[in-house]
Structure 1
Amino acid sequence: MNIQETQRGENQLAAGAISLPELVFTALATLAPLTLVAAVMPLHFLVGGAAVPGAYLIAAGVMALFAVGLNTVLKYLRSSGAFYTIIARGLGKTTGTVSAMLAVLAYNALQISTYGVIGTYAASSFASWFGISLPWWSYALVTLVIVGILGYRGITASAKILGVVLILEILALIVLAIVVLAAPEIGAVPGEIYSPGLVLHPSTLAMFALVFGAFMGFESTSIYSEEVRGGARTVRRATYIVVAFIGVFYSLMALIVVTAYGADGITGAAGNDLEGLVTNLFARLTHPWVFEIVNILLILSAFAALLALHNASNRYVYTLGRERILPHVFGRTHSRTYSPWAAGLLQSALGLIVIIVCAVGRIDPYTVLLLVGSALGFLAIIVLWSLCSLASLVYLRRVHPEEGVWRTLIAPGLAWVALTFIAVLVITNFDLFTGGDTTVNVIVWGLAVVAILGGLWRGLYLRRRRPEIYRDMAATTEISVVP
């Protein structure tokens, strides 16, 4: 068959720039595996205890169902706007503009909050290693410049760096698994960890609100659909690889941590030392130089996630600029590298503003900036997952029912029900993400409401005042399959 794609004219992204391995590395780097296991997974244990390993597999099953509908839609709609395009085509263009603003908010919140993480890690590490005492924001500013330059140079350079860092992160976690299993003082792998009675017990429901957060970023495979070699087939393969890796690898790493502390002791251990639950295993069971390497890799892990989120944010803003939902200047790409440089400058400017505000206002980069950004990002993304699964169902049933009942109804329908349930869990257990801080809650919900109202206003404005723009929204990326 021949694939005919609507011409976009100038300011295109670099078609064919990303291979399958590079796409997988880029998506997984967004998830920062080492950072997640060391810094985020302990909270999962605090809430879910020994049920966490099984929860990752269940979450992976739900995300695989979501991926069925998503990948089927991407055979026909390929866009760096990803969720925005699918939701606009499935649920209406005004709903699409709302989702677009939520996506921009989510990726920017996650990206900018990561500057707080890397600044904190770097300041602490450099003080320990070299006796250099500099504020966190100085390291954050240096990182901002480096990320901006790499984003400007194009996706190929970024993908190679992300691949190297990701491999090092995974190797570090494999080392942890080996030393835990080999340690004579640690007991055998506990049985019944994956029993449905444990994993699906009503007392562990809140755990799923946290565990699904480990999959944030898996959808970035679809964001690069205009730039991959092999088109929809490459995106489909990468998406399933990423989902399978997250589910299986994180489940195994969670099992290793449970083994280290015991099924009955993991919750108490997390409560006693949430921050050091995993890193203390490195310190206790490996040579001191291994522990120092892990500290270096934690900085690199945060950097890789930051670079991946920067690139993802760029492409959403670029798409919205290209379609004139945002100012058209943001839809420009570099004439040589095809990078969305204008959108990249916007990301760097926003990051600079937030870092300066936090520095001047003495806002804690970890307990405030990170909490606000991660909570806001996941809240927006889980809502987008739910909307996208429903939009996939509606679009496919209406336009491409020939894809079959499984791809067009059953898989996306089950995913929509499950993800909507998880969204409700996230909202009702939101204090788990914010620590119950009233100020943080007000900021997060306030920004979410502003994004929703802003997207709604923009959609209605374009429909009434700029019908020529509204008419072409989410239409320039459709692919017609001609026999």
Structure 2
Amino acid sequence: MAHPTTPDAPQRARLSGNLGTGSIAFMVIAAAAPLTVIGGNAPLAIGQGNGAGAPVGFLIASIVLLLFAVGFVAMTPFVKEAGAFFSYVTVGLGSRLGMGTAYVALIAYTAIQAGIYGYMGWAVMDLVRYYGGPEIHWSVFAVLALVVVGLLGYRHIDLSSKVLGVALLLEILVMMIVNVAVLVNGGPEGLAPQSFDPQVFLTSGIGVAILFALTGFIGFESTAIYRDEAREPSRTIPRATYLAVAIIGVFYTLSVWVLVVAAGASNVTEVAQQTLFGSKNMLLDTAGDFAGAFTRNVMQILLITSLFACVLSFHNIVARYQFALAKIGSMPAPLSRVHVKHQSPALSSLVQSVTALVIIGLFVVIGLDPLVEVFGYMAGVATIGMVMMMLLTTVAVVVFFVRNPRLRKSIWTGTVLPVVAVAALGLAAWLVLSNFTMVTGGSLAVSIVLALIPPAALVAGAIVNRKDGGRTVDIQLDRVLEAESRE
């Protein structure tokens, strides 16, 4: 009997599913790993950034991403391929830059996935050690997680969405319990209104705070990658995008402010720096002090499930990127096969699992530290890639509506706000590059090499291009324009 993904088996040209706004938003928010960001990025933003003013850095990052989302959503009805960034760039700027963007996406999402496996392996190893267990190498836990992720990614997307939904609800719930406990009881200096005082947040460190806030949003834009599996793509994708940005932005800003309240505005920078040096854990200590030891212990476990949800989300994203590229002939054709039973990109998912396994093995052979080097280096590559892709996509939106003004519903959503977003993202790119050694935690030489990887991927993709030269996208767009002209 033929294997379900072999040419002898009946196949569909497209993935299928019935994902609603909530399901897609859950998967996207899970990719951002909100609890992990509060535990990791927040102390960095406070300790190395603008101290008590760090919550405003997260608020500004949220506004920047909302500006990006306006143009992204406005262009969504005219992008029929489930390829997220690269499909938008292809429609707006042509197939060469589109394919370059696709390569950047593959590199960025594969990198952050590998980095999270390192972080998760370290976190489980540390938890086992904390409870008196044996010394087990971090890679053992990373590979175990990889196997589970691979099994879930192989099956229908509905299963992954349910797992991610449960994990996400639990981590948000435990953080909100802590948030409420802190706000009800107040910190040593009250509710710390200083965080929103311009004299406090408008310091030289605000750029660093915005930088670490932006890295906490990696993956939020992947709503469009689930286009073929969405219930009503033209409505579901825009709603999920706005919902994801709003929830993540409010959650981050509130939770970082709560950390300031818990420590006290005048003392929070020192507490955050102690966390960075390993003598304290700002998030877990806050949970224990204000919500009890049980909540602290639960949160420590949910930090690991947060990482698992995050890596599962990125696995699904990369598998679908490969699937989309294979459909247009830019990756091996077998990767575009759809599993008959699970209606998933099963072979692409399997290839992604093997790729991640090889990368983890390489890190082990080299002897990299799982947290400082594996996660730090890979997060650096992903951050550069994310900002590049968002900038290219927003430029594509502006160019698309300039060339096709009759498709623009509003000059604000089609031109003005996207132009503002281009400027904001350009500033974000400068912040990332000028503080890049903070992101990677590595030397200047290592950071330069890592920073060059996404631009190199962009050039490589532009050289390879797509086999159909973008003709499929051109035909789809011509049909949209023809329908519009008849109206």
State the TM-score, normalizing by the size of structure 1: 0.92
Q: Secondary structure in 2 aligned to 1:403?
A: coil
1:95-114 residue pairs with structure 2 within 5 A? 95-114=97-116
Q: For each residue in 1:402-460, what CA deviation from the matched residue of structure 2 results, as whole angstroms up to 9, or x when unmatched? A: 4221121101111111111111111111111012424531441343343123212212x
1:172-187 residue pairs with structure 2 within 5 A? 172-183=174-185, 186-187=188-189
Quote the offset at 1:476 in angstroms.
7.2
For residue 309 of structure 1, what is the amino acid of its counterpart?
F
Change (3 A) 1:237 1:432: same
Moved more, 298-307 or 344-353: 344-353
1:406 alignment partner in structure 2: 412
Quote the offset at 1:31 in angstroms.
0.7
Q: Secondary structure in 2 aligned to 1:226?
A: helix
1:15 alignment partner in structure 2: 16
Distance 1:454 1:206 in 2: 31
Q: Secondary structure in 2 aligned to 1:144?
A: helix
Say whether 1:24 aligns with 2:25: yes
8 Å Cα contact 1:16-1:227 kept in structure 2: yes
1:304 alignment partner in structure 2: 309
1:360 alignment partner in structure 2: 365
Change (3 A) 1:19 1:298: same
Q: Secondary structure in 1 aligned to 2:195?
A: coil
Q: For each residue in 1:347-401, what CA deviation from the matched residue of structure 2 results, as whole angstroms up to 9, or x when unmatched? A: 1111111111222332211111101111100110111111111101111221243
Distance 1:374 1:13 in 2: 31
2:36 alignment partner in structure 1: 35
Q: Secondary structure in 2 aligned to 1:193?
A: helix
Q: Secondary structure in 2 aligned to 1:138?
A: helix
Distance 1:32 1:26 in 2: 10
2:7 alignment partner in structure 1: none
Moved more, 77-86 or 23-32: 77-86
- Residue identity over aligned pairs, in percent, reads 30
- Alignment equivalent of 2:58, drawn from 56, 59, 77: 56
Distance 2:186 2:410 in 1: 54
2:283 alignment partner in structure 1: 278
1:135 alignment partner in structure 2: 137
1:470 alignment partner in structure 2: 469
Q: For each residue in 1:279-307, what CA deviation from the matched residue of structure 2 results, as whole angstroms up to 9, or x when unmatched? A: 22123334323222111101100000000
For residue 230 of structure 1, what is the amino acid of its counterpart?
E
Unpaired segments of 5 or more residues in structure 1? 1-8
Q: For each residue in 1:106-151, what CA deviation from the matched residue of structure 2 results, as whole angstroms up to 9, or x when unmatched? A: 1111111111011111112123336233211111111111101100
- Alignment equivalent of 1:87, drawn from 83, 86, 89: 89
8 Å Cα contact 2:86-2:98 kept in structure 1: yes
For residue 470 of structure 1, what is the amino acid of its counterpart?
G
Say whether 1:448 aligns with 2:454: yes
8 Å Cα contact 1:13-1:339 kept in structure 2: no
Say whether 1:392 aligns with 2:401: no
Q: Secondary structure in 2 aligned to 1:37?
A: helix
Distance 2:118 2:179 in 1: 29
Quote the offset at 1:14 in angstroms.
3.5
Moved more, 272-281 or 189-198: 189-198
2:122 alignment partner in structure 1: 120
8 Å Cα contact 2:394-2:422 kept in structure 1: yes
Change (3 A) 1:202 1:477: farther
Unpaired segments of 5 or more residues in structure 2? 1-9
1:424 alignment partner in structure 2: 430
Say whether 1:246 aligns with 2:248: yes
Q: For each residue in 1:127-178, what CA deviation from the matched residue of structure 2 results, as whole angstroms up to 9, or x when unmatched? A: 3336233211111111111101100102100000100011100111112112
Quote the offset at 1:196 in angstroms.
4.0
Moved more, 347-356 or 286-295: 286-295
For residue 125 of structure 2, what is the amino acid of its counterpart?
A
Distance 1:48 1:199 in 2: 6
Say whether 1:319 aligns with 2:324: yes
State the TM-score, normalizing by the size of structure 2: 0.91
8 Å Cα contact 2:90-2:470 kept in structure 1: no
Provide the aligned length of Structure 1 versus Structure 2: 468
For residue 458 of structure 2, what is the amino acid of its counterpart?
I
Q: Secondary structure in 1 aligned to 2:19?
A: coil
Distance 1:48 1:225 in 2: 39
Quote the offset at 1:340 in angstroms.
1.1
- CA-based RMSD of the aligned residues comes to 2.1
2:4 alignment partner in structure 1: none
Distance 1:228 1:476 in 2: 23
Q: For each residue in 1:7-37, what CA deviation from the matched residue of structure 2 results, as whole angstroms up to 9, or x when unmatched? A: xx95444334211111111111001111110
Distance 1:399 1:457 in 2: 27
For residue 332 of structure 1, what is the amino acid of its counterpart?
R
Distance 2:446 2:473 in 1: 34
Moved more, 113-122 or 269-278: 269-278
- Alignment equivalent of 1:67, drawn from 66, 69, 87: 69
2:347 alignment partner in structure 1: 342
Distance 2:93 2:186 in 1: 57
1:205-284 residue pairs with structure 2 within 5 A? 205-274=207-276, 275=278, 276-284=281-289
